[in-house]
Structure formats: structure tokens, C-alpha cells
Amino acid sequence: MAQMTMIQAITDALRIELKNDENVLVFGEDVGQNGGVFRATEGLQDQFGEDRVFDTPLAESGIGGLAFGLAMQGFRPVPEIQFFGFVYEAMDAISGQIARIRYRSGGTQNAPITIRSPFGGGVHTPELHADSLEGLMAQQPGLKVVIPSTPYDAKGLLLASIRDNDPVVFLEHMKLYRSFRAEVPEEEYTIELGKADVKREGSDVTLVAYGAMVHSCLKAAEELEKDGIQAEVIDLRTVMPIDFETVLKSVEKTNRVVVVQEAQRQAGMASHIIAEIQEKAILHLEAPVLRVAAPDTVYAFTQAEEVWLPNYNDIIERVNQVINF
Amino acid sequence: MKRTLENIEDQFETFQILNEDGKIINEDAMPDLSDDELKELMHRMVYTRILDQRSIALNRQGRLGFYAPTAGQEASQLGTQYALEKEDFILPAYRDVPQIIWHGLPLYQAFLFSRGHYHGNQFPEGVNALSPQIIIGAQYVQTAGVALGMKKRGQKSVAITYTGDGGTSQGDFYEGMNFAGAYKAPAIFVVQNNHFAISVPVEKQTAAKTLAQKAVAAGIEGIQVDGMDVLAVYAATKDARERAVNGEGPTLIETLTYRYGPHTMAGDDPTRYRTEDLDSEWEKKDPLVRFRKFLENKGLWSEDEENKVIDKAKDEIKAAIKKADEYPKQKVTDLMENMYEELPAHLQEQMEEYKAKESK
């Protein structure tokens, strides 16, 4: 076991798969000599050469189209979108093309592409650098959307994503990149996509989250424990598809749920999760399922960021509401 | 079979008026600027260099937010802006804050923009510009729209936009030039080729020898200019502006330049992708050094004069940062108020919730 940050775990996964599979190609803006603006690809060009790890011209739609074309040639591309707010430039490549090729070809062609990208707020980036757009991605049939919350998960989920034969959008929360270290096996392992992880067991309320909000839930759970409330924290790990089996099992146990997302409230993942819970488990519920989400404005880059972002106090407030309903 | 690439590339020579020693090498192209105007250009370059130094320091102290250093690019930025009229419209990229400051944006608002405060982007009446664009190249297509609008309204003005060498790889770059060309719209497209898109050198960005030649496919005029020579930059922009307002269509101007600092202040380390030799090679071409020599030889500039500008810049920057500090901090409810013309019901509800939070 080694102690790794999430960014190190990601680099480690990329290194392993570049070594395992000669069809894996890593490319994007500044990923070569510079090692990526967050250093996720640090040292990979030196180790594997410019044929396998390379800089692209500056064009996100170009990166998406290039990945698609390389996939048609049997490669397994792992492109990076430098900041996920830039994905709008690549939306046709991703949603209009990559996500649809399996269907469009009647199952004869596929695009085993893993699009990696930093996202999420709290690190004082400028406009269009911190937006949580996982809901937008989850709304594109044909894509899988993976969001790790720990170094261990990041490595196993990234290896599983690269090996998956469907396109995956792999979102890396910027605040988690270097915020803590944790034990990560040096050998390779995968974590099945579409399987949630119970990060903390509890009997009184279920907290459903993913990404950085998993940690806010864990902090809230610690505080709630002081008041005798046992919160179960479910880390979805994959928001498309979602492991509702694990969620519903927990709901049947706790009968109370709060769904937490960093993204804006409108039309987000939480709405979808809550709809599914009430369709399948309404008779198990003792209280309405509540949401913690950001307000419906553009991301509050730089100023008012800390107030805008949901935090553990917001979670505690909602938990108390469902407990005291 | 007739191939054309070689013939085209050879036609794009670098336009220069003032060489590195501060000597005029192209007398015929010398723009018609009075002594006072020449001094004003130098004043602006010195001022902007100080503004860059102070902005970097303020960023390091945590008193500014997002900042993209400008030193090295003063001639490209200010030479183009100086050729404009007040009614011309600027669509800047994130490094192009100096142009909108000299176009009339108060300094304290530029600082508020850096801090992500919406008031930084509430431009005073008569400052014809957009706030700096974050998405690479998006402003290029928008420029075609602004320019076409000017043409439809019969205005004798131009829309000018800026991107870097990296920006020329975006689809928006071609789309903007092509649209403006097709409509013969009064647009000026500036590429400040500082040779690195964050870490990626321009040689890896494109197979084209020059970026100016990219105008050819769009059917518009293109010129490559020494971007460290403020007189050449000014003359090329003035010429592009005249042709544009006379209905002769858009121009692409590539300025060859260099940013001395990092890409932004958010952790970029240029030593990972640039050599010290290259840095010093470009520092020898410095736009301030050569223009200073030129003016000194004409008896128009002195150390005393320069110090006066530096003091004035420092005083004004100090006052502006104070004013920015005094401006009320942005709240989440401010964001809500600026989302729609009328607040929808769901936001009204959230507004109450956040007002309560903010008053705690």
C-alpha cells in the first residue's frame, strides 16, 4: 500500500493502463511535457513517448472529434478536457457523436473513450472553470458518468472506465485532488461501474451523494452522531447509471433520505434520484425526501463561493427536518 | 498540377517599423503621430507595465483573484487599442484587460473583474466593450455579429477582437473570420502570437508557418506584424480600421510577441516548457526598451518623465484597489438578481432563503 493523493492515484491508473494496453492514448491541452495543468499526466510522456501521450492543438471540439476518430481505428482514447466548463465547446462531439455511435451503427461500432476532466468548486477558479455539469452529461443516453470521491476509488474507477467498451465521462473534483492522502494499493484493481459504496453505515437517515459532497456528508454524519443520529452515507461513485439497489436497500432501513449535490438545484441528479425513490419506495418513507443543492444561478466564481456551495451545515439542517417531520 | 502553399507562406513577411535598437527601418510606413501622441503611447506602455507588476504582487498577497500577466505584450495590446476610436467595440480575451482600461474602463472595476465581482463587468456608458472572455475563441464569432450590426446601422466604426496563438486552433476562430468576410463586416481580428498556449509551443499548434496566412482561406486580408514594435502594430491596425470603415472588409493581424510571465497566476510554471535562453532572446526585443530609445533620440523622453508616469501609475493603482476594497462584497443574492429580467418564482423562494443566510 502507498499513501496517495487523488491526483497521484489518477496518474497511477493512467500509467498502469498505458503499460497494459498499447491502444490506450492520452491526449489533451498541455498534457504532454507540462504534465497537465493539474499534473495528472506528470511524467507520462517521458515514460511512454509522444506517440502515446501528446498535446493537442487548443480546441475542445477537436479533442472530442479526434477521440472519436481514433476509437474508430481501434484505439482506446483517454482525452482530457482541461476544465469541465470548456465542455460546451465539445458538446456535439460528445453528445451528438460519441454517445450515439453504438446505436447509430446498430451495435457494430463503439467508442471506448474515457473523457477525463477536473470540475467542481471551492478552489477560487475564474468563470467556467468550476461548474458541476454531471447532470448535463447524465442526460445523454449512451454515456456513463463516473465521479470518484477518494484516491482508492479514483484509481479503481478510472481503470474500469478505460477498460469499459462504452464512452465514460470521468469527472475529477478539483477540491479533492490534493486535499488528503489515503492508502491505495500499488497493484492494479478495478471498481465496477454502476456500483455505489456505503461510505458510512447508519440506521436513522440515508445521505446520498457523490464527489466532494461525500466528504461534507461524512462530516455532517459525525456531527449528527453527537446528537444521537446515525446517518448512512452512500457514495454513488457513478451517476450514470445509478445503483438504485443500494440506495433503496438503505431507504428501507432508515426510512428517511436527504440527497446532496454540489450542482444547482434545477433539473439535477438529486431530482432524478428523488423521483426514483418515491416511485419505488414511497411506502418506506417516513418523511419527504429533501435535497441539499446550490442555488439556481451561475457558479459563484471567486466571490460568494463559500456561501453558494452547499456545506455540512446545510446537510445537518435538512437531516433535522426529515428526522423531525 | 499547381500547388499553392509555398507561394502563400512566402508572402507573409513580418511588418516592422522600429527595430530592436530603436531605429526606424521603414520610414515610408511611419504612422502620422504627433510628438504628444508618441509620448502618450510610451506613457501608456510604462503605466501598463507597472500595472502588471502591481497586479502580480496584489495577486500574491491574495488581494486580487484571477490574473493573466501582460508584460511583454504591451505593444501588441496598446498599439492596436491606440488606433481605435471611442465608438469602436472591443471583444477582449482574459489577458486583454489593458485594452479595455485604455478604452475607458475604470481601474477599480478591472480589479473587481479579477475578483469575480459582477460590478467589474458593469461597464460605464460609452465604454464599448465586452468583459474579458474566458472561453478560448468564443469572442471571434461574436465579433462578426457586432461588426455586422455596425454595418447594418451604417456606423463608421469597427469591432476588434483578440485571441492568442492557441485560439487560432478553435473552430470559432475560422467561423468568425469566415462570417465577417462573407458579410464584409468591419472587423479586426488580432492574434497575439506569444508563442505558447500555456505550455504548448506554436509549432505544435499548427502546421502553418504563420498564423496571418489563416486569413487567406477566409478570403480576408492578413498581415504579420512585429508585435514588440508599437509603431508597426499601430500602423497595421490603423490601416485595417480605415479599410474596414470604408467597406473593404475585415483583417486578421498576427502580432509576434511574448509573455514574460506565467500563463496566469494560478500555478503555471513556465520553466517547465520555456528555456531561459528563449526568455532573454525575447527580452532583447522588449517593446518599452526600443520605443524609449526612439523617443530619447528624438528628445521626447527622459528618466524624469518616466518616473513621473511610474509614480502616477502607482498612486492611481493604490487608489483603485482601495476603491475596489470599499465596494460592497458580492453576495449570492446579487447573483440571483442578475439571472433574469424578472425573478422567477423558484428563485424568489431561494432569494428569501439566502437573504436570511446573508443577514446572519
Rounded to whole angstroms, how far apart are CA atoms A4 and A16? 15
In B, minimum Cα distance to A126 occurs at: B66
Q: Which pLDDT belongs to residue B1? A: 77
Please name which of B301, B293, B285, B303 lies closest in space to residue B75, comparing C-alpha atoms.
Answer: B285
Q: Which residues of B touch A295 (CB under 8 A)?
A: 332, 335-336, 347, 350, 353-354
Flag if B170 and A89 touch (Cβ within 8 Å).
yes
B353 min Cα distance to partner chain A (Å) = 10
Query: Are the C-beta atoms of residues A296 and A264 closer than 8 Å to each other?
Result: yes
Q: Which pLDDT belongs to residue A302? A: 80
Mean pLDDT of A242-250: 98
pLDDT tens digits, A259-288 = 999 999 999 999 999 999 999 999 999 999
For chains A and B, what is the number of CB pairs under 8 angstroms? 119
B205 near A CB under 8 A:
yes
Cα torsion B321, B326, B329, B333: sign: negative
Residues contacting A122, CB < 8 A, separation 6+: A130, A174, A175, A212, A305, A306, A309
Flag if A303 and B329 touch (Cβ within 8 Å).
yes
Query: Are the C-beta atoms of residues A2 and A183 closer than 8 Å to each other?
Result: yes
Half-sphere exposure of B128 (CA within 13 A, CB side): 17
Inter-helix orientation angle B74-82/B230-245, to 10°? 40
Query: Are the C-beta atoms of residues B160 and B190 closer than 8 Å to each other?
Result: yes
B339 near A CB under 8 A:
yes
Rounded to whole angstroms, how far apart are CA atoms A302 and A192? 36
Polymer length of chain B: 360
Residue A225 grid coordinates: 452522531
Mean pLDDT of A173-199: 98
Q: Which residues of B touch A80 (CB under 8 A)?
A: none
Query: Are the C-beta atoms of residues B189 and B218 closer than 8 Å to each other?
Result: no
Please name which of B168, B174, B192, B230 lies closest in space to residue B96, comparing C-alpha atoms.
Answer: B192
Give the phi and the psi of residue A146 in degrees, each rounded to 5. Answer: -115, 135
Q: Which pLDDT belongs to residue B230? A: 98
Percent of chain A past pLDDT 90, that is, above it, reads: 98
Query: Are the C-beta atoms of residues B144 and B91 closer than 8 Å to each other?
Result: no
Q: pLDDT tens per residue, chain B (360 residues)? A: 777 787 788 889 999 999 999 999 999 999 999 999 999 999 999 999 999 999 999 999 999 999 999 999 999 999 999 999 999 999 999 999 999 999 999 999 999 999 999 999 999 999 999 999 999 999 999 999 999 999 999 999 999 999 999 999 999 999 999 999 999 999 999 999 999 999 999 999 999 999 999 999 999 999 999 999 999 999 999 999 999 999 999 999 999 999 999 999 999 999 999 999 999 999 999 999 999 999 999 999 999 999 999 999 999 999 999 999 999 999 999 999 999 999 999 999 999 999 998 887
Q: Which positions 225-284 of A are in contact with B (Cβ < 8 Å)?
A: 265-266
Q: Which pLDDT belongs to residue A122? A: 94
Q: Which pLDDT belongs to residue B249? A: 98
Using the structure block, give the residue that is written with the C-alpha cell 508557418: B209
Residue A313 backbone zone (phi > 0: left; psi -120 to 50: alpha; other: beta): alpha
Q: Which pLDDT belongs to residue B5? A: 82
Q: In the 3-class helix/strand/coil scheme, how is B288-336 assigned residue by residue?
A: HHHHHHHHHHCCCCCHHHHHHHHHHHHHHHHHHHHHHHHCCCCCHHHHH
Residue B345 grid coordinates: 418564482
Catalytic residue among B118, B174, B260, B273: B273
Write the DSSP symbol of residue B270: G
The one-letter amino acid at B258: Y
Neighbouring CB atoms inside 10 A of A224's CB total: 23
Q: Which pLDDT belongs to residue A224? A: 98
What does R_g of chain B's alpha carbons equal in angstroms? 21
Q: Which pLDDT belongs to residue A212? A: 98
B266 min Cα distance to partner chain A (Å) = 8
A123 near B CB under 8 A:
no
Q: Which pLDDT belongs to residue B154? A: 97
Rounded to whole angstroms, how far apart are CA atoms B249 and A110? 45
Q: Which pLDDT belongs to residue A104? A: 97
A61 near B CB under 8 A:
yes
Query: Are the C-beta atoms of residues B119 and B51 closer than 8 Å to each other?
Result: no
Task: Flag whether pLDDT at A155 surpasses 80.
Answer: yes
Rounded to whole angstroms, how far apart are CA atoms A289 and A207? 10
A195 min Cα distance to partner chain B (Å) = 33
Percent of chain B past pLDDT 70, that is, above it, reads: 100
Q: Which pLDDT belongs to residue B61? A: 96
| A105-127: burial string, b at 16+ Cβ within 10 Å, e else | eeeeebbbbbbbbbbbbbbbbbb
Which stretches within A228-295 are classed as H helix? 244-254, 269-281
Query: To the nearest 10°, the Cα dihedral for B335, B331, A172, A196?
Result: -90
A126 near B CB under 8 A:
yes
Flag if B205 and A57 touch (Cβ within 8 Å).
yes
In A, minimum Cα distance to B336 occurs at: A297
The angle formed by the CA atoms of residues A15, A21 and A25, to the nearest 5 degrees, is 70
A128 near B CB under 8 A:
yes
Q: Which pLDDT belongs to residue B280? A: 97
A149 min Cα distance to partner chain B (Å) = 23
Flag if A57 and B206 touch (Cβ within 8 Å).
yes
Query: Are the C-beta atoms of residues B130 and B138 closer than 8 Å to each other?
Result: no
**E-only strand ranges, B258-313:** none
Residue B152 grid coordinates: 447594418
Residue A166 grid coordinates: 462504452
